[in-house]
Structure formats: structure tokens, C-alpha cells
């Protein structure tokens, strides 16, 4: 954006994520739609069923067993969310899908190609981008504060903004097994438990059996 609009033209917002409460509102919906059940599930595996999140082999096994199911939950939630009605101030309620296809038919609004930087006066950059309807919602803000503790626990409590950017490394772990061993794992697992189930209780059994089979592969 700086290449297109130039430096110091408000191309991005630097500061606490409360300045982007719209995406925080969406994360709240994602968490309560399906994310929390997976978080709770992984915590239970760690507490009671041998999962050690610092071990790359264990993370690989989580990916191998559950990533397709998480992706399936994500797609189902996204499809449902795209069809739900949004309250639009001053307009009739419309779904994200309806808005998208309307944009394809009538063209985008507010997304015209900017040929020159806009001289926009901002009274208070610290509050730019804040959705005040969200900040006034105690439930949404409680979720925001819970999920972003690093923003409220800075070493310097008087700092005007974040001192460092958040970083979430997402490197996929290498498989500890050969292709033949993975095939053996899948076959043995399918023989003792229903790997196609959508039940979290069954997935717990899937982890336990997979953990046992992986243990035998190392002997």
C-alpha cells in the first residue's frame, strides 16, 4: 500500500488490536462457533492423554489426525456465516453472500482505484479504526482482552502503543515416520476406531489409539 499511496498516508494502522475491533468481532464468532471446542479438546489431550505440545512429533500427529476435521469445521462455519443476516445501519439486513454477489453485479462501492493519496485529516490517530459499537459490548471486549493479554501486560504501562509486533510461527513439523509407516498407522487406526466420526469423544479415542500405534513403531 505504501508503494501505491506513498509513505505516511494511513495505509495501515499501527497499535493495539482494539483499533480493529471488527476483526475481533469475527474472531469472537469463530471462537464460539467451533474454535473453543478444539482448544478444550487439545488441552484435555495435554492434561490426560500424553500430548506434549513442545514435541514436534506430537504436533505432527495432531496435524495428521485432526487438521482435515478442523478444516471441515472451518468450511461449514464459513458457509453458515456467509448466509446469516448482518445488521447494516440505515439499510435492510443482508447476508455477506448477498453483499458479495451484489458487488459482482453492481460493482464495488468504496473500493475505487486510488490514483492519488487522499489528504485525510485524522483528529486522533490512536482511536482511528475503532468500532465503538464493539467497544461498548462487554461480552465482545471481555473476549478481546482474554485473547490478547500481551497488549495489556507491557513492561512499560505508559507506552502509547505496542513495542513489538506479535508473531505466531506456524511451521509445519516434519513427519517422524516414512510413507509406509504412515500408511500402516492409518490402516491400523481405521481397524479399531471410526476415524470418520464427528464426535469429540471418538476423536479422543482416535488420539489414544494413534498414540499407542506410534509408540509401537518406535520399538
- pLDDT on residue 43: 95
The string of DSSP letters for 7-18 reads TTS--S--S-GG
Beta-carbon-side half-sphere exposure of residue 139 (alpha carbons within 13 Å): 6
* Strand runs labelled E in 115-186: none
- pLDDT on residue 83: 74
User: Are the C-beta atoms of 48 and 163 separated by less than 8 Å?
Assistant: no
94 forms bridges with which residues in the sheet?
86
User: Are the C-beta atoms of 31 and 140 separated by less than 8 Å?
Assistant: no
- pLDDT on residue 143: 73
For residue 144, count other CB atoms closer than 10 A to its CB: 22
- pLDDT on residue 141: 72
Which letter, b or e, does each residue of 186-211 get, where b requires 16 or more Cβ atoms within 10 Å of its Cβ? eebbeeebebeeeeeeebbbbbebbb
Per-residue model confidence as pLDDT tens for the chain (219 residues): 667 777 766 666 555 555 566 677 777 888 888 899 999 999 999 999 999 999 999 999 999 999 999 999 999 888 887 776 666 667 777 766 666 656 655 555 544 444 455 566 666 666 666 666 766 777 777 776 777 666 655 555 555 555 555 566 777 889 999 999 999 999 999 999 999 888 999 999 999 999 999 999 987
Task: Identify the three-state secondary structure at position 94.
Answer: strand
Amino acid at each position: 500500500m505504501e508503494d501505491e499511496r506513498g509513505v505516511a498516508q494511513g495505509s495501515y494502522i499501527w497499535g493495539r488490536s482494539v483499533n480493529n475491533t471488527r476483526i475481533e468481532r469475527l474472531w469472537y464468532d469463530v471462537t464460539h462457533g467451533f474454535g473453543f471446542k478444539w482448544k478444550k479438546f487439545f488441552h484435555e489431550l495435554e492434561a490426560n492423554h500424553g500430548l506434549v505440545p513442545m514435541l514436534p512429533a506430537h504436533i505432527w500427529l495432531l496435524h495428521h489426525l485432526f487438521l482435515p476435521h478442523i478444516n471441515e469445521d472451518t468450511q461449514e462455519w464459513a458457509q453458515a456465516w456467509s448466509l446469516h443476516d448482518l445488521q447494516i445501519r440505515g439499510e435492510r439486513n443482508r447476508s455477506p453472500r448477498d453483499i458479495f454477489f451484489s458487488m459482482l453485479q453492481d460493482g464495488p462501492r468504496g473500493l475505487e482505484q486510488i490514483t492519488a493519496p487522499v489528504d485525510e485529516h485524522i483528529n486522533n490517530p490512536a482511536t482511528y479504526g475503532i468500532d465503538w459499537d464493539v467497544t461498548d459490548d462487554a461480552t465482545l471486549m471481555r473476549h478481546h482482552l482474554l485473547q490478547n493479554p500481551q497488549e495489556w501486560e507491557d513492561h512499560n504501562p505508559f507506552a502509547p502503543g505496542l513495542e513489538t509486533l506479535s508473531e505466531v510461527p506456524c511451521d509445519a513439523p516434519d513427519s517422524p515416520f516414512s510413507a509406509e509407516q504412515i500408511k500402516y498407522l492409518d490402516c491400523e487406526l481405521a481397524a479399531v476406531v471410526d476415524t470418520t466420526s464427528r464426535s469429540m469423544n471418538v476423536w479422543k479415542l482416535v488420539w489414544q489409539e494413534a498414540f499407542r500405534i506410534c509408540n509401537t513403531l518406535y520399538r
